[in-house]
Structure 1
Amino acid sequence: MTLSTDDTALADWRATFPWPGPDTHKHERGRLGVVSGSALRTGAARLAARASLRIGAGLVRILCPPDASLVVAGAVEAVMVDEFTSPEALARLADPLDAVVIGPAAGLTEATVHNLMALARTGAALIVDADALTIFKGRPRQLFDGLDRDDVLTPHEGEFERLFPGLLSQGREAAARTAAAEAGCVVVLKGRATVVAAPDGRLSVNDNGSPWLATAGSGDVLAGMIGGLIAQRMDSFDAACAAVWLHADAGARFGPGLIAEDLAEMLPTVLRALRGD
C-alpha cells in the first residue's frame, strides 16, 4: 500500500504528526500509563503498552494490581511496571502522566469503575476501552460526567450500544457525532469503516479498513496507539484519526495470518512510509 500526499484521509492529521526532532528526549515524547487487569489478564495491557512505545511515546508504564505485577514485570522490557493497591494509589501514579489507557481486560467489576473515576480526577487524558466501557451499561452518565474533550472512548458496535442505546439506528456517522456531543469527548466507533467524532462536530470516516484486524487483541493495540499519540501532545481527535489509519495500514501490510502481536512490529514500516523514508 502506498501513501498519496493528497490523500484526504491523511491531510488533516499528517501535518501535526509528532515526529521527534534532533534534540528531543524521552520525556518530551510523552508519558503514558496502561492499567493492567488481574494476573491472568495482563496480555491486553502489554499489547497496548508495546504499541504505544512503537508509535513514539517516550516512556510507558503498566500500572498493575498487586497480583499482576510480577507477571507483567517478567514479560516486558522497555515498559516499566508500577503496582497500585487502591484507586487513590492509582491516581497518584497517573498524575504525572500525559495519558492513561484503561479498559483492556480491566475486569467487569466495581474496581474498574472506581479506578476510572480516580483517573478522571488526574490531569491525564483517558483512553477508555473494552471493560471500562461495558461496566457502565445502564449508567453511562456516571462515565460521561468524569470525561472531558481530550478523552477518547473506543467502542465497537456492541459496546457503543451499551453506552448509547438506540443511537445506531441513526446510522454510524450520525450516531458517532451524537455520542461525542453527549459524552463530551472523542468517540471512535470501530468497524469496517471506523468513524471518529469529536464533541465540537468534527467527523472522520476511515477508508482503509482491513479484515485482518478481526482478531483478539487488535483493539487493545489501537487503544495503545491512540494513547501514545495523545501522550505526545497530539490533539485527541487527530490522534484517534491517525491511529485508526495507521492501525489499518499495519493490518493490510501484514495480511493473512495476522495476530495482534504483529501489529506493533509492523509500525516501523508503516511509519517509515508515512514519513516518505
Structure 2
Amino acid sequence: MDGDKTPHDWRAAMPWPGPDTHKHARGRLGVVSGRAGQTGAARLAARGGLRIGAGVVSLLCPIEAVAVLAPAVEAVMLKPFADPEVLAELVDGMDAVVVGPAAGINDATVANIHALAGTGAALVIDADGLMVFEGWPADLFALLDRDDVLTPHEGEFKRLFPGLLEKGRLQAARDAAATAGAVVVLKGRETVIAAPDGRIEVNGNGSPWLATAGTGDVLAGMIGGLLAQRMDSFEAACAAVWIHAEAAAGFGPGLIAEDLPGLLPAVLARLWPGQ
C-alpha cells in the first residue's frame, strides 16, 4: 500500500535552489489574512511558506488589518485589498495562494475564493475557507482544479463530504479527492493525502505535539510554499505533512505553533541532497 512511503518517495521532487536561483524564481506565495482582530493564523501560514522556501511571500489583507500587520511582519510583504476584484488583481503573477485561516465564515470569504479561483494560482483552502461551504460543497468543488489542495481536519471533512468517513479514512479521502477534483489532505494522527488521479498516501510520522492551535495554519502555508515553487500538488502535500510532523517530533513537549517555522530549517537540512 502507498501509505508506507518514506521521505525518499517525494524528496527527489523537492524544489531546491541552484547556485543562480533568485527570489522570484523560487515562487511567489500569497496568504489571505482575516480582519484586524484575526491576523495571527495568516501570519503563521505566511511564515511557514517563507521557511519552506517560497522566494516572495505576501499577506493579502483587508485595509483595516494593515495597522495590525505592519509591525508584526518583516520579510513578508503586505498587500491590502478593499474587495474581491482588487484581491484578484494583487494575485496576478503569484504562483500559489493560501486562503481560509481565520478568514471568517461569511460572504466575503466566499467572494474572495471565487475571485481567487479565476487567477490561475494554485489554491490551498483551509479552515474557514472550507467551513463557509458547509451545506453547498458542490459550489466549492466547481471552482477547483487538480492543482488545488483542501486541508480539512475530520470535523471539516464531515461537513464538506457528509457520510464519506463511514467508509474509513483511506477510502473517504480517495473518494473526496475524486469528488472535489483536487488534492485532499485529511488531517489526523495518520494524515491521509489523496489526489484526484487516484494517488494516495498515509503519513506515518504523525506527532501528538501538533495538537495545539495554529499548527494547521503553518501546514497550509508550507503546502502553499511548495506549490509556489511549482512542486506537484500531491507531492507538495505529502512533503509538507511529513516535514511538519518531523519538526514537531523533534521539538516535543511544549510545542506551540509559533515554534514550527523556526524548526523547519533543521529538517530541511537533513533532506537537502547538497549536504
TM-score of the pair, normalised by structure 2: 0.97
Which residue among 49, 52, 57 is the counterpart of 2:54? 57
SS of equivalent to 1:74: helix
Measured after TM superposition, the shift of residue 11 of structure 1 is 2.6
Distance in 1 separating the partners of 2:238 and 2:157: 18
One-letter amino acid of the structure 1 residue matched with residue 228 of structure 2 = A
Measured after TM superposition, the shift of residue 170 of structure 1 is 0.3
TM-superposition CA deviations, 1:135-167 (whole Å, max 9, x none): 000000100000000000000000000000000
State whether structure 2 residue 109 is matched by structure 1 residue 97.
no
Residue 176 of structure 1 corresponds to which residue in structure 2? 173
User: 199-208 or 265-274, which moves further after superposition?
Assistant: 265-274
Residue 120 of structure 1 corresponds to which residue in structure 2? 117
Which residue among 236, 240, 245 is the counterpart of 1:248? 245
Instruction: Write out aligned runs for 1:67-82 (5 A).
Output: 67-82=64-79
SS of equivalent to 2:72: coil
One-letter amino acid of the structure 2 residue matched with residue 151 of structure 1 = D
How many residue pairs get matched?
A: 271
Unpaired runs of 5+ residues, structure 2, are: none
Residue 209 of structure 1 corresponds to which residue in structure 2? 206
TM-superposition CA deviations, 1:199-253 (whole Å, max 9, x none): 0000000000000000000000000000000000000000000000000000000
TM-superposition CA deviations, 1:167-209 (whole Å, max 9, x none): 0000000000000000000000000000000000000000000
User: 56-65 or 9-18, which moves further after superposition?
Assistant: 9-18
Measured after TM superposition, the shift of residue 8 of structure 1 is 3.0
Instruction: Write out aligned runs for 1:78-227 (5 A).
Output: 78-227=75-224
State whether structure 2 residue 231 is matched by structure 1 residue 234.
yes
Instruction: Write out aligned runs for 1:41-56 (5 A).
Output: 41-56=38-53
RMSD: 0.8
State whether structure 2 residue 267 is matched by structure 1 residue 270.
yes
Residue 3 of structure 1 corresponds to which residue in structure 2? none
One-letter amino acid of the structure 2 residue matched with residue 193 of structure 1 = E
One-letter amino acid of the structure 1 residue matched with residue 87 of structure 2 = L
TM-superposition CA deviations, 1:236-273 (whole Å, max 9, x none): 00000000000000000010000000000000111111
Runs of 4+ in structure 1 off by over 3 angstroms are none
Distance in 1 separating the partners of 2:67 and 2:237: 32
Q: Work out whether residues 99 and 129 of structure 2, in 8 Å CA contact, stay in contact via their aligned partners in 1.
A: yes
Q: Work out whether residues 165 and 172 of structure 2, in 8 Å CA contact, stay in contact via their aligned partners in 1.
A: yes
One-letter amino acid of the structure 2 residue matched with residue 38 of structure 1 = R
One-letter amino acid of the structure 1 residue matched with residue 59 of structure 2 = I
SS of equivalent to 2:184: strand
TM-superposition CA deviations, 1:111-155 (whole Å, max 9, x none): 000000000000100000000000000000100000000000000
Residue 14 of structure 1 corresponds to which residue in structure 2? 11
Distance in 2 separating the partners of 1:263 and 1:117: 31
